[in-house]
Structure 1
């Protein structure tokens, strides 16, 4: 193996799940509004073999407040998108990302009041 070959010969990289540009646009729009309201401060994105995760933090050095997950294998069942709370509870799951994120937009309305 030479230094230009990322994988040994015959080895194939495993595909990963990731958010598409349109999906990230929807998520980042909500994220920007929550930052402006002072509710969120940081985020992280993970692209793994079976799931893509957008994690939202109040402070950088703590556990995420929420995880927005995309699991394409669940597309035909309960829906590929989910919002997971800090304790691991599923707050909302569905087929449409905007609809699933409404559970977090309600918190934005309360924060502004």
Structure 2
């Protein structure tokens, strides 16, 4: 017999926090552009009870340069999205993913002279 997995009950928090398809698409798009620019080489995704974390690494054997965290418990307070730096400091926090990713996307801008 197969294993039956019940649907989440209304009002009960999910057993695991994850990224929605559009969120993950936006994060992986940024990751791909950073890899093409030579900034990042590896990534890791951690899905837990309290948060979903996407970590981007310059090299595989070090601490992540940036972590993008989704914590739904903070949705009504300071925003569920956070951009955390290598040292663990929160660089940006917000209710939407786009503005939280803005500091990383600014690294991709290059000045073009005539």
- Provide the TM-score with structure 2 as the length reference: 0.83
Instruction: List 4+ stretches of structure 1 deviating above 6 A.
Output: none
Aligned-pair CA distance for 1:46: 0.3
Q: Deviations over 1:41-98 (max 9, x none)?
A: 0000000000000000011111100100000000001100000000011110001101
- Segments of 5+ residues of structure 2 without an aligned counterpart are 4-13
Match of 1:88 in 2: 88
- Higher relative CO (CA 8 A, sep ≥ 6), structure 1 or 2? 1
- Provide the TM-score with structure 1 as the length reference: 0.84
Query: Secondary structure of the residue that 1:77 maps to in structure 2?
Result: coil
Aligned-pair CA distance for 1:106: 1.1
- Segments of 5+ residues of structure 1 without an aligned counterpart are 6-13
Aligned-pair CA distance for 1:108: 1.8
